[in-house]
Every structure is written in C-alpha cells, then in structure tokens.
Amino acid sequence: MIQPHDTLPLNRDYTFDMFVRGKNNHLAYAASMAVAEAPGKAYNPLFIYGSVGLGKTHLLQAIGNFMVASGLPKTVVYTTSERFAIELITAIRNNTTPAFREKYRRIDLLLIDDVQFLEGKEATQEELFHTFNELYGSEKQIVLSSDRPPEKLSGLQDRLVSRFRWGLVADIQPPDLETRIAILREKASNRGIHVDDDILELIARRISSNVRALEGALIKAIAHSELQGARLTPQNIEGMLPEEGKREKLTIAHIKDEVAMRYHLKRHDLEGASRKKEISQARHMAIYLARNMTNNSFPAIGKQFGNRDHTTIMHSYMKVKTLLEETPLLQAEVNEIKEGLRARFQENP
C-alpha cells in the first residue's frame, strides 16, 4: 500500500486520461507516461518546464496517480520546492533533520513542483542535492517542474542544475487553437455538459496562453447560462469572457517595442538601416515575430520596417526560422518574447 506520508495529496482529476495531448505538450506527455510505466528506468530525472497554467502540475500528479493506481507497494511524494524548504527549516528547528532525510530518501517516486523557487535557498538546495543523489543512486524516480529550463535557473547551484539535466528535459508550450478547443471539449464533457462547437471555438480564440484561464472562462460561461436558464450563444458569451478577451490586438508596433526593449534598442533602430550585428539580429527577430504572430503579409511588414522590400523581409523571416530549428536556446528566447506579448495582447489566430 501507498504509505500516507505527511505529504501533499494528489488531485484525483490530474490523470493521463484527463490530459489532452497536442503538439504543444507531446514530448512532456510521452516522457511522463514513459516514466510512469518504468520509474527510475526510462528518464531520470524527468524535468518538465513551461509557462503558467500549461499543465506541469497536472502531468507531475498524473505520474503519481498512475503509480498509486498500480497498487504496488510504492511510496509517492508530491511536494513543491517551497514546501520542501519549509519542511527542512522546520526539521532543523525541531532537531528532526534525520527524520526528514529518512522520509525523503526512502521513497520510490519524488515529484517536486516549481523548482524555480529554490533560487537563493542555499540550505534547501544542499539538502535536495543529497536527496537527489541518494534516490538517483538507488534508481528511484525523480520528476521536477519549473517555469523555465534548467539553464535559466540562475540562482541555483551548478551541480544541482547539471543533475536536473541528466535525464530528459521536456517543455510544454501554449496550446494551438485546435488543442485549446479539444481541451474545452474535454473539460465540458467531464462536467457532463454539452457545449456547441462554435461556443468552444469562440472561447478558445479569445484565450490563448493559459489553460487554467481557458478552463475558468468555460466554467464561468456554463455557470452564467445555468443561472439565467439561457442557452449559450456567441452573443451572450461575448460579455462574460475575461480580460484576455478584451485585450488590445497585437500589432507590429507592439512587437517592435517588445523586441527593442529586450535587446536594449529603440524602435527606430529596428526600422532603420543600421547593419550593426545586434541591431540587424534584433530586426530579423522582430520581422519573424511580426509574420509569426500577426496576419500581416510580407509586403505589409516591409512597410513597417523602413519600407523594406518584401523579399528582404522574407529573407529575414526564413533566416530566423531556420536558426530556430537548430538552436534550442534561441527557441527558448523566442518563446519568452512571445509569452511576454501574449500576456498583454491578443494574438491573431
């Protein structure tokens, strides 16, 4: 039996069955499944990262729930890095550090959520380092999550970060429109409610970067229609969608400002003719994003980058596109810029 250690409970709804797969989370899902089926063997540790509300906790707990459901005498501990830190501090204060160590070093599956909060916590990192070594050495599975990839965890000891990368690092990206609709359909049907496809699509178009917000909008819409005894229609749903739906539409000017800010440049540097490396690289990036995130054509983009010819624009776009395929670090960078924009503006579908 699973020993009910004083540990955070697993949410029963966070299972693999309830997790909708899409291009955005395919690797993280497959890796989690592999780890659940062969803990300590497939990928150890598994490190899942992605931005807010994209399913990291869901996947971690799905692995835990899977092991619990197997009925094997395994000990699963799900915790957050913050809670791990608090437990350690309490143990030190109460002179119960040996018991704390004993607990964490005798488990079969350790799930640690949100390790970005370990930044700057030296004693906790030290303890986790030893826990990690102990568990890893005895082929026990470790799964970690974070809002960014290991190499971006700047306040963490190098030896810890390097261990985080020993196994597999898998990212979760924001879901595309199709996946967002599929998620909404799944969430509605879990509640035993049928919602028409056009309504699902409307919500999915409005909320693009956070599955939690997507789910929240659906629940709100359902509640409204139930309270008012009215059918959900595109018209009556308009008014109840949250802020994100009312955000300003993303324009090329927004992209230029965001990119300029990130690279410490001015908007007119991106529009101008300078061939300085930092400037032309940032310009390529802004052009790529303009094409990737808005509905503007190459000629239309050219007009907004100092009246450049559409072939020049296309060249910049292709250049970044190719580079992205070869450079994961650049991918991460582009994703960060995109996230920043999506957090404030409504991206074109």
Q: Which is nearer to ligand ATP, 16 or 263 (CB)?
A: 16
Out of ligand ATP, Mg ion, none, which partner does residue 244 contact, by CB within 5 to 8 A per kind?
A: none
Q: Which is nearer to ligand ATP, 66 or 288 (CB)?
A: 66
Residues 116-135 that bind ligand ATP (CB under 6 A): none
Cβ-based neighbours of 207, under 8 Å, separated by 6 or more = 180, 213, 214, 217, 241, 242, 244, 245
Out of ligand ATP, Mg ion, none, which partner does residue 152 contact, by CB within 5 to 8 A per kind?
A: none
161 near 150, Cβ under 8 Å?
yes
Identified binder of ligand ATP from the candidate list 26, 212, 224, 262, rule CB under 6 A = 212
User: Would you tell me how many other CB atoms lie within 10 Å of the CB of residue 163?
Assistant: 20
The tokens for 2 are 């699973």
Q: Which is nearer to ligand ATP, 58 or 140 (CB)?
A: 58
Cβ contacts of 280-288, under 8 Å, gap ≥ 24: 283/316, 284/316, 284/317, 284/319, 284/320, 285/259, 285/320, 285/334, 285/337, 286/255, 286/256, 286/259, 286/260, 287/313, 287/316, 287/317, 287/320, 288/316, 288/317, 288/320, 288/321, 288/334
49 to each of 19, 87, 149, 207, how far by Cα in Å? 16, 24, 6, 21
Piece in contact with ligand ATP (CB under 6 A), picked from 51-59, 127-135, 136-144, 267-275: 51-59
Out of ligand ATP, Mg ion, none, which partner does residue 58 contact, by CB within 5 to 8 A per kind?
A: ligand ATP
Q: Which is nearer to ligand ATP, 45 or 175 (CB)?
A: 175
Q: Is 213 in the site for ligand ATP (CB under 6 A)?
A: no
Q: Which is nearer to Mg ion, 53 or 272 (CB)?
A: 53
One-letter identity of residue 108? D
Q: Which is nearer to ligand ATP, 183 or 260 (CB)?
A: 183
Helices 277-293 and 310-326, packing angle to 10 deg: 90
Out of ligand ATP, Mg ion, none, which partner does residue 215 contact, by CB within 5 to 8 A per kind?
A: ligand ATP
Task: Please state the φ and ψ torsions of residue 42, each to the nearest 5 degrees.
Answer: -70, -75
Identified binder of ligand ATP from the candidate list 56, 163, 254, 308, rule CB under 6 A = 56
Out of ligand ATP, Mg ion, none, which partner does residue 35 contact, by CB within 5 to 8 A per kind?
A: none
The angle formed by the CA atoms of residues 217, 341 and 177, to the nearest 5 degrees, is: 45
- Reference 179, options 14, 23, 284; nearest CA is 23
- Least separation in angstroms between residue 198's CB and Mg ion is 31
Out of Mg ion, ligand ATP, none, which partner does residue 50 contact, by CB within 5 to 8 A per kind?
A: ligand ATP
Out of ligand ATP, Mg ion, none, which partner does residue 202 contact, by CB within 5 to 8 A per kind?
A: none
Out of Mg ion, ligand ATP, none, which partner does residue 25 contact, by CB within 5 to 8 A per kind?
A: ligand ATP
Piece in contact with ligand ATP (CB under 6 A), picked from 52-60, 196-204, 241-249, 257-265: 52-60
Q: Residue 249, SS3? A: strand
The angle formed by the CA atoms of residues 314, 173 and 335, to the nearest 5 degrees, is: 45
Residues 52-81 that bind Mg ion (CB under 5 A): 56-57
206 near 245, Cβ under 8 Å?
yes
Identified binder of ligand ATP from the candidate list 112, 183, 279, 334, rule CB under 6 A = 183
**Tokens 């395919």 appear where?**
26
Residues 5-34 that bind ligand ATP (CB under 6 A): 14, 18-20, 25
Task: Give the side-chain half-sphere CA count within 13 A for 153.
Answer: 29
What distance in Å separates the CA atoms of residue 210 and residue 344, rounded to the nearest whole number?
12
Q: Which is nearer to ligand ATP, 62 or 237 (CB)?
A: 62
> What are 112's strand-pairing partners?
79, 144
Q: Is 50 in the site for ligand ATP (CB under 6 A)?
A: yes
Give contact residues for Mg ion (rule: CB under 5 A).
56-57
Residues making contact with ligand ATP (CB under 6 A) = 14, 18-20, 25, 50, 52-58, 147, 183, 186, 211-212, 215
